[in-house]
Amino acid sequence: MNNIKGHIDWLILLPIVALMLFSISFVYSASAPIAQYRFGDPEFFFVSHTFRVMAGLVVMLLFAKINYHVWQRISKPMIVIGIILLVVVLFAGTSVKGASRWLNLGPLSFQPSEFAKFALVIHFAALLSIKQKVIKELERGFLPFVLWAGLICLLIGLQPNFSTMFVIFIIAIAMMFIGNINLLHLGGVFITALVSIGFYLVSAEYRLKRLTAFFGSGEPGVNDAVNYQGNQSLIALGNGGLFGVGAGQSRQSHLFLPESYGDFIFAIIGEEYGLIGLLGIIAIFAIVFWRGMLIAKKAPDNFGYFLAVGILITFATYLLVNAGVNSGLLPTTGVPMPFVSYGGTAVLIYSAAIGILLNISSHAGVYPKQEMREEDKPIESDKVSDEVKQTSLF
């Protein structure tokens, strides 16, 4: 047996670890004033986030040790569990601002949509890896993807949680496109989904007001109120300029910008560290995406390829939407910055996803050179086909 051993990609591990550790400082600076106001303790969110980051690092290293083919075998039970949890949260979830998105598990809370999102990515990768010969067919090659994605999006939309539903829709469409699904089938579901999303947007007054205010077609006074978060975010970015006002010197975090430590932490970083700081954050993600694309290209089988691509698409979508909202290019919506924003379930799920990506990197270029134990062999062991590579965005 060839004793060649794979190694994890340090150019993914180290940037992500650095980003997570930097996020502790970012969250503390962005949350201290509001934590003092709400709880009388400026370190309330800082302590919680630090604990979650440490837990996330442990999860990342653990998942990096698990052979990624395991997820191929349990992808269907995972997505079924995700759907069950989404149903449960509708009836037994904790309601916050009229939305039921969290399940309380004693001292801990859990957001099922985060689990369901990555369960969908894993199951899509598993389906794409074994359906390439029938991928152009409607019944066997297309409908299974639409049914899984449609059910998850519907349940998340009922919470209601439009932002997560929309991001999952984008991820699903992108993975199907890269998976070489029939473009006529894909175009049909894309148009149908857009029409459905349009009806969903106008079905609630607050969503309609947010949309009309973004396009400047509502009442000026109302627009200012609806666009309050977006306007405060732009003020923060304007304050920061090129080099920022300095660490811990943000003015917008002093109760001016809601969710300053969550969905709008990108703006606070821009205020304190300026455009240079934001470009640094983007550069870190760029390194991760670059290395991730190389890992996908070198993946030893279809499942590894599609799983790596799906993970990268997820992070890229969240990054672009969050940055777009913070900079006023997109309507205000609640989408966190991966590995940077304050969070619980998301931090752990994202860390697990990076761990899986690292495990794929440790196998890239090794199989089939070395023998594999039977339980480690992929269900579909062929190399990524030329047809798949030609349709890939990467």
Residue 365 has a pLDDT of 63
**What secondary structure letter does DSSP report for 71?**
H
Q: Is residue 37 part of a domain?
A: yes
Q: Is residue 2 part of a domain?
A: no
What is the domain extent for residue 259?
10-391
What whole-number distance in Å separates Cα of residue 174 and Cα of residue 193? 14
What whole-number distance in Å separates Cα of residue 77 and Cα of residue 59? 21
Contact 325, 333 (CB under 8 A): yes
Contact 266, 323 (CB under 8 A): yes
Q: Is residue 283 part of a domain?
A: yes
Strands (DSSP E) contained in the chain are 94-96, 99-105, 108-110
What whole-number distance in Å separates Cα of residue 65 and Cα of residue 291? 19
**What is the tens place of the pLDDT at every residue in 179-238?**
999 999 999 988 998 888 888 777 777 777 777 777 765 555 545 666 788 899 999 999
**What is the tens place of the pLDDT at every residue in 65-86?**
999 999 999 999 999 999 999 9
Per-residue pLDDT of the chain (394 residues; tens, 9 = 90+): 333 345 789 999 999 999 999 999 999 999 999 999 999 999 999 999 999 999 999 999 999 999 999 999 999 999 999 999 999 999 987 777 667 788 887 667 789 999 999 999 999 999 999 999 999 999 999 999 999 999 999 999 999 888 899 999 999 999 999 999 999 999 998 899 888 888 877 777 777 777 777 776 555 554 566 678 889 999 999 999 999 999 999 999 998 998 899 999 999 999 999 999 999 999 999 999 999 999 999 999 999 999 999 999 999 999 999 999 999 898 888 889 999 999 888 999 999 999 999 999 998 865 443 344 444 455 544 444 544 444 443 3
For 383, residues 6+ apart whose C-beta sits below 8 A from its C-beta are: 300, 301
- Nearest Cα to 251, choosing from 33, 11, 18, 8? 33
| Ramachandran area for residue 22 (φ above 0: left; ψ -120 to 50: alpha; else beta) | alpha
For 71, residues 6+ apart whose C-beta sits below 8 A from its C-beta are: 78, 122, 126, 307, 356
CA 71, chain centre distance (Å): 18
Q: Would you say the pTM of this structure is higher than 0.95?
A: no
Residue 378 has a pLDDT of 52
Q: Is residue 27 part of a domain?
A: yes
Question: How many domains in the chain?
Answer: 1
Q: Is residue 133 part of a domain?
A: yes
Q: Is residue 5 part of a domain?
A: no
Residue 241 has a pLDDT of 94
Q: Is residue 68 part of a domain?
A: yes
Residue 217 identity:
S
- Angstrom CA distances, 289 to 309, 336, 346, stand at 10, 18, 19
